[in-house]
Structure 1
Amino acid sequence: MEKFTKVFVFISFLFGIQTINAQCPNLLENQATGPNSISFLSQSLSAGADSAIAVSDAGECGLTIVNNDANQPWAKYLITIDLTQNGLLAGDELITSIEVQNSNGQPRIEYNQNNTPNTALAFSSFSSSNIFNSTFIIPSDINTIDIWLFSNYTQNTPGSVTYKNLNISKVATGGGDTSSPVITSFTSTTQTSNSIDLSWSATDDQGSISYSLSQNGQNLGISTTATSYQSTGLTAETSYSFTLSVTDTSSNTTTNSINVTTSSTGTTSTGSSIWTENNSIASYVGKVGIGTSSPGNYELAVNGNIRAKEVKVETANWPDYVFDNTYVLPSLEEVQQHIAQKGHLPNIPSAKEIESNGLELGEMNRLLLEKIEEIMLYTIQQQKEIEELKLKIQNNQQNEE
């Protein structure tokens, strides 16, 4: 009877564990609740991961990602978030949190764009804590954010990691269209002693724009679709300031100002009188185009060559961060994979992008120095390995003697 009781208790214990685990699904559920919680489009094993096993710990459900094949270098679990499904826009913030319960390998989480490697908006290898909290902003021109949960981030090594308490919610701050209109021209075509003629044009990626014009700070109440205006009743040989405001349907606004001087009594002049001179210094508030009438978003646009003895570019975020202990240096395997897929180094614009958008000197110098400092770290790592190999060879030779 006593043996029967012990067997019954043991069977009941096993049944209880199975009942608890049965309550946990073989997927990770978003623990965030309320109207701002994020729903998942799909969940699946990826890159050769063997299984995803539901587990329960003190009533909390988790998911163990398992890979037993050493020939699958980046086995992982994939969770896809569809931006449209969740009403997410560029500029919105996502607040995330996830916990590692236990691991037989190196844990790793990445929040990637459009399921593309090396595009992580946030990532962690849980080196300093078993909980990773992050807040990041959704960029433009993407459709999905994909959560990668690795079974073991050590390449070509089997392993398993248990993840739980995944929380993702949004803070809606984006506005969809965040691009301001571009004023392509704003000039004075004719000036008399008592009048000034103005004309302008602008473009916007959404198509619909409205105009307003002020003179010396006073709104002139022009038609919102007007592209020209004549200011009358002015004083001869007097400078007037005109400000043009262009607004699109998303309330993005661009302004530009010019100063125009009326002519002397009885004379008429044509062309723009927008430059001022003081102590042999010519100045102008607005955009300047040389060889082009469309400077776009640049204060100075030159369609031609520039010769100078020195160019100084002021920039921030100089890449000393590469030598910081928290910097995650991509492995050479990751770099090789990125080159094979995209044909250029990570974080470096492609030849097509440079051809379309040009090259920003400050940003490109920052990126090139970042790559140089990464190469220095790789070199230091390789030198350590060389020294270790030398020592091993020396020890082997001594043992043979």
Structure 2
Amino acid sequence: MIRGRSQGNAPAVLSVLDLATVGAGHTATDALRTTTELARLAERRGYHRFWVAEHHSMPGVASSSPAVILGHLAGRTGRIRLGSGGVMLPNHPPLVIAEQFGTLEALAPGRIDLGLGRAPGTDGPTAAALRRGRTDGADDFPRHVAELVRFLDDDFPDDHPYSRIHAVPGPVQGRAAGGVQSAARPPVWLLGSSGFSAELAGRLGLPFAFAHHFSAANTVPALDLYRRSFQPSEALDAPYALIGVSALAAEDRKEAHRQVLTGALAMVRLRTGRPGLVPTPEEAESHPFSPVETDVVDGWLANVVHGTPDDVRDGLDALVKRTGADELMITSNAHSPAARLRSYELIADAYGLPPA
């Protein structure tokens, strides 16, 4: 069972969210090698969990298949929790996700998290291509979550059409002749950027992860709604809230700003329908930002905690104080793999995380 932080001034747990970002001049192979290196660094430096996110049809993001990436990472780490932040459930039949994450749990017992989102993680035409004519979507999310949990627990009622269908690997193997029941199944998290999933997570008694890094104005209202709606469950006895936050530390503030500006320009291009690779710092510095683009950049950077390690620690601590988050999941959207890796080292040093 997941439990919240003790009351008082205890710092939030620190974790990592990675998108396998692809910078200009780099390949998807380079990006995924960096993801692997980052997962190993996160484990070595004492971060609690490492999640990857599902996105589609975005040249600068190579994390379209979280289960595949997590299977790779499971074989190259030994202790850190691994999970999806998240799987976009409307894109997939629940049985497929139950089998994928049952397989991951069998590969890395006790280390797998299943984070679920209701957005497509892409544009409308790509979502339609993923769903191949299925008409259910985000509004059917509560039903899909319930169905997925039933598959994970293998406990459909006898009169249910799926009562004789079993997700494998899964509990059915423990009930077969000579079978041994697995100790656990992946815990389910709900992800969101508004109040919908916050309220649903509370009613179901599930841990909740909020996308503060791209919906900062909604963070406090969503977490308040989650806590008000919370009903204890077998999974969780009290609310547990994680927030995703963009952060990057460097030895000096100028270099930190130089690095995060690359992610800001990538976001400008995404929001104006021109998604591409993450630009280099030189390209970002020389880009002639229009007034509209400058507004986008300023709004984006206002919610990216960046600067020296002390600046970042102070900014993250202030965010925890303001939101009451139990856990911070840090993501760094920058061109340079070396800068991203170094940032996580510096943040770990600033918080005194003990090297493993």
Structure 1 and Structure 2 fold alike (TM over 0.5): no
Q: Please say which structure displays the higher CA radius of gyration.
A: 1
Higher helix share: 2
Higher strand share: 1
Looking at both structures, which has the greater relative contact order when contacts are Cα pairs under 8 Å and sequence separation is at least 6?
A: 2
